């Protein structure tokens, strides 16, 4: 009810010609603003001077990186409407990019935790950094939203044949392998990555040592029964490849704190409740976020809406991760994503007008007040009925 009222007030402000403009330099009500863009679409070259500007992710890159997940649904709807994948360059993105450019990859993988209030743009900050990793030829291990693994009570759950007390999510694991292959197909075809171990799946099927890593991926996709074990194997092999400097690995996990939740919506065939710690996928991604390997980087986000953390009153990592999660990821570099500055607010409203999504330039001060410069609330208020 509160959000509906907020949207209604926002709509009336957008359409009221007599409203006072947010800035003294606001355009006349009969004009459309021109979006403040940068022509530099390579994240490696983004600097502090470009904060608040919009940049377009080339469609060829966006189709590879985000076709199977990685962007919030509401933002995906805007992409379809506007006909382009356009991200704002935020201070949090620039901060992480500066760190990555100065990283000594011969040392253990540095962990970053992106945090902030709900709706401030943590997932889009991660998307910006993902584009950087793609451009710079990292092998990407990306989980678009962890809670998606655990939220659907009809997800297939089977007891693991190889890990006592654990359960596999075969279809979810196979879908993740497809996402992994799509994002990394180009770089994997260029690298020589023969696996170290032989993997025996049954009496007739095996993947011998010396096979290319892509054979493990395709086996998990084609034989869904073994998809979870293939994910475990791929992550184990990649840690060794990275430490041997055969590749650089970029780990990006959105909603990481869901891995440390107390429950899920999943149940086994005998109606046993499943916790995140029982799932083999959880074990795989807890393994890759350890600091026992080199030539890589780990970036995760934590959020209230991930799993069962909505009741907490703090957005800080120590509360969202809990004692176990905090100890697992510590030490890490925290990076906060904040609400829009006035410059960023004007920039995104200029973009909406440039796309003919808003009709007027007036009412900006009121929109700022109503949404508290929160990016998600502003997008929602300015969205379609």
Output helix, strand, coil percentages for the chain, rounded to the nearest 5. Answer: 45, 15, 40
According to the model, what pLDDT value does residue 308 have? 59
- The answer to whether residue 211 scores a pLDDT higher than 60 is yes
**Residue in the block written with tokens 């935790």:** 113
> 311: which 2 tokens?
């009741």
**Highest mean pLDDT pick, 17-31, 165-179, 353-367:** 165-179
| Cα 296-59-50 angle, rounded to 5 deg | 65
CB of 283 within 8 A of CB of 96? no
> 374: which 2 tokens?
């929160």
- Assign 376 to helix, strand or coil: helix
**Residue in the block written with tokens 């800035």:** 23
CB atoms within 10 A of CB 156: 14
**Residue in the block written with tokens 């998307």:** 127
- Assign 114 to helix, strand or coil: strand
d(CA 104, CA 111): 13
Q: Report pLDDT digits (tens) over 36-86.
A: 899 999 999 999 999 999 999 999 999 999 999 999 998 999 999 999 999
> 234: which 2 tokens?
């791929």
């Amino acid at each position: 009810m509160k959000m509906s009222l907020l949207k209604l007030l926002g709509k009336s402000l957008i359409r009221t010609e007599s409203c006072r403009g947010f800035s003294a330099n606001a355009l006349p009500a009969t004009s459309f603003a021109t979006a403040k863009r940068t022509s530099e679409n390579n994240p490696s070259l983004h600097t502090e001077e470009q904060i608040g500007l919009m940049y377009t992710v080339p469609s060829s890159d966006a189709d590879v990186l985000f076709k199977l997940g990685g962007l919030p649904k509401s933002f995906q709807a805007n992409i379809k409407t506007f006909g382009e994948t356009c991200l704002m360059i935020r201070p949090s993105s620039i901060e992480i990019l500066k760190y990555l450019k100065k990283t000594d990859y011969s040392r253990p993988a540095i962990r970053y935790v992106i945090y902030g209030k709900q709706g401030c743009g943590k997932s889009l900050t991660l998307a910006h950094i993902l584009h950087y990793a793609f451009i710079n030829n990292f092998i990407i291990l990306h989980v678009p939203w962890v809670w998606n693994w655990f939220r659907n009570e009809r997800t297939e759950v089977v007891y693991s044949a190889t890990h006592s007390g654990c359960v596999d999510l075969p279809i979810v694991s196979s879908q993740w392998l497809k996402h992994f292959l799509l994002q990394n197909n180009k770089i994997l075809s260029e690298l020589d990555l023969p696996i170290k171990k032989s993997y025996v799946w049954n009496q007739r099927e095996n993947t011998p040592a010396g096979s290319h890593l892509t054979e493990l991926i395709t086996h998990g996709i084609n034989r869904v029964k073994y998809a979870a074990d293939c994910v475990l194997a791929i992550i184990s092999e990649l840690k060794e490849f990275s430490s041997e400097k055969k590749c650089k690995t970029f780990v990006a996990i959105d909603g990481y704190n869901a891995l440390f939740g107390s429950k899920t919506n999943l149940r086994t065939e005998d109606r046993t409740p499943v916790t995140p710690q029982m799932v083999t996928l959880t074990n795989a991604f807890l393994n890759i976020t350890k600091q026992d390997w080199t030539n890589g980087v780990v970036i995760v986000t934590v959020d209230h809406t991930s799993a069962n953390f909505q009741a907490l009153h703090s957005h800080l990592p120590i509360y969202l991760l809990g004692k176990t999660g905090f100890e697992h990821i510590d030490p890490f570099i925290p990076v906060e994503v904040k609400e829009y500055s006035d410059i960023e607010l004007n920039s995104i409203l200029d973009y909406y007008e440039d796309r003919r999504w808003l009709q007027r330039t007036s009412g900006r001060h009121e929109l700022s007040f109503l949404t508290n410069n929160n990016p998600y609330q502003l997008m929602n208020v300015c969205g379609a009925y």
